[in-house]
Chains A and B, each alone.
Chain A
Amino acid sequence: MSAQAVKMKKKSSWSVASVIGLLFLLLFTVICIAPFVYMVIMSFTQSTTLMITMKEVHFTDFTNFKYVFGNSGFFRSLMNSLIVVGCSCFFNCVIASMAAYGFEKKQFPGKEALFKVYIATQMIPGQVTMIPVFIIMKKMGMLNTYFALIVLIINAFGVFLIRQFMESVPDELLEAAKVDGCPEYKIFLQIVIPLIKPVLISLVVFTFVTSWNDFLWPLVSTTDSDMYTLTVALSLLKTQYQTNYGLVLAGATVSFMFPFVLYVFLQRQFVEGIALSGIKG
């Protein structure tokens, strides 16, 4: 046993209580993952009852997935979600980093008061603004548009997140560029943006998940089935094919895969995004 291992052993003694704790932790871990494993397994079955054995699971049989993708409505919803999420991420990054730069690196009267208003708006639940926004969109004829779906995703959170990060961008650097005669828009695009890349990735991850998983607003603002997002389509799949469990879970699997793959690759950014949003208090 190496010296380090001895030290480790001394440091953490495994009492009966710890073992029980570990078992609880293991149990909870299993409960966290099991429903998703079940979802994927079930999506490979053709059955109208849930009483199935593993013999009825055929991992080479993609019938449910073919049906889900062949079902033009569902495929269209998938595309809608991708478009909405893509645009949300892009515009949120652009608008929020511009605002954060304005707040952090420019001086103008009333700046901090305005920033406080921005932060206060984060507290307001979406359900409170939803009804007037619905009415505004209806009057403008903007219901059932990508604009309506995208615009509500953009809020003060991104501004707050990026501003915190932008403190670390040295003022001297921007000053030096200005002295060298670098035009203002170039300072922003070519100096500031590359420096805040890490926080932009966190914001993209955050926006992706928020937008992809958004349900109530798409449910309310889309009445035309061509404009449904994936969450709305999935909720309808569930009512249309009540007992075709394999099919419904194939739909759920598809909708889960996108954020899941992103999570697998950008795990650190997910966690950091949360840690950052957590410190906002």
Chain B
Amino acid sequence: MTRKKKEALQGIIYILPSLILILSFCIIPIIMSGYFSFTSYNIMTPPKFIGLENYAKVFKDSYVVDAAKNTLKYVVITVPIQTFLSLTFAAFLAYKMQNKAGGAMRSIMFIPVIASAVTAGTIWRIILNTDGGLLNNILGVLHIGPVNWLGSTSTALISICIVAIWKNVGYFLVIYYAGIMGIPKDLYEAARVDGATTLQQFFRITLPMLKPITYLVVTLGLIWSFQVFDLSYLMTGGGPGRATVTLVMGIYNAAFKQYKMGYACAMAMLLLVIVIVINAVENLFFKEKKEAR
């Protein structure tokens, strides 16, 4: 065996375990999911091909429509707010508080990130409790409420959004903070010599330099938000009524409560399309950015 061939063989052997796993639990399942989405399948009997029927049904199913609306609302509320907060906090910490106190704040803000959604949901469900929940107690001092946070259709989804934002800001803050620290210091020096204020420096230097990071933060934020499940499953179970059902909850219920695997796969494929579109748009922006340079 030539040396080249031997090396190629070695390379393939090293890659093989991961390749088997990725093939069996990612690539093949995607193909299966695509196929099942055109079938009626309840696991017990073999899948029956029904063409586009599942997709036609998905768009008419009022549960799915509600789930899609809620998910969209959740995305529209969560992503801009968490992006804005993480960026401003990161900028403030980087400009004004590159000291121990700032470091401690960054460390603390990361704590909600490491807690599981189950832990976070469990705590917040109790904090948001109508009778005697911590938040209503605090608001009671200000003579507000009591508010039925999770039990009323007007506040349940917002409450979940707030918890999600609370949980995500620390993560994106770390990314933004690292990004700001990576901006060459002499840019700021030059701006200061020219008499630019802090605010001007932020809008003229920091923000443009952080563009690629903002794309990333928004993309990740969008993708995660479209996949929201844990928090709403734990805090409200989708209720009251359908006020907090989400797309993934729809997939979960169809597949594992009603065993409509084909139908659930059709929903899952739609979720995949959403994610692919978000990524494609991000890549488009990225390319534009690279070419502009």
Contact = CB atoms under 8 A, between A and B. Distances in A.
Whether A and B are associated in the same complex: the answer reads: yes
Interface in B195-230: 212-213, 215-216, 219, 223, 226-227, 229-230
Interface stretch (A22-30, A55-63, A65-73, A195-203): A22-30
A281 B215 contact: yes
**What range describes how many residues of A lie at the interface?**
35 or more
A28 B89 contact: yes
Interface stretch (B61-69, B70-78, B128-136): B128-136
A215 B230 contact: yes
Nearest to A205: B114
Contact of B123 (A39, A108, A281): A39
Nearest to B275: A125
B74 to A, nearest CB: 15
Contacts of B4: 107
A156 interface: yes
B112 interface: yes
B93 A25 contact: yes
A32 B230 CA distance: 19
Interface residues of B, number: 95
Interface string A113-157: 010011001011111111111111010000000000001101110
Contact of A132 (B28, B120, B213): B28
Contacts of B114: 209, 259-260, 263, 270
A98 B18 contact: yes
A267 interface: yes
B94 to A, nearest CB: 11
Contacts of A33: 108, 111
Given A18-B92, A50-B131, A117-B27, 8 more contacts: A28-B85, A32-B170, A51-B132, A107-B7, A121-B27, A215-B116, A249-B123, A281-B216
- 3 closest Cβ contacts across the A-B interface? A106-B11, A102-B14, A50-B132
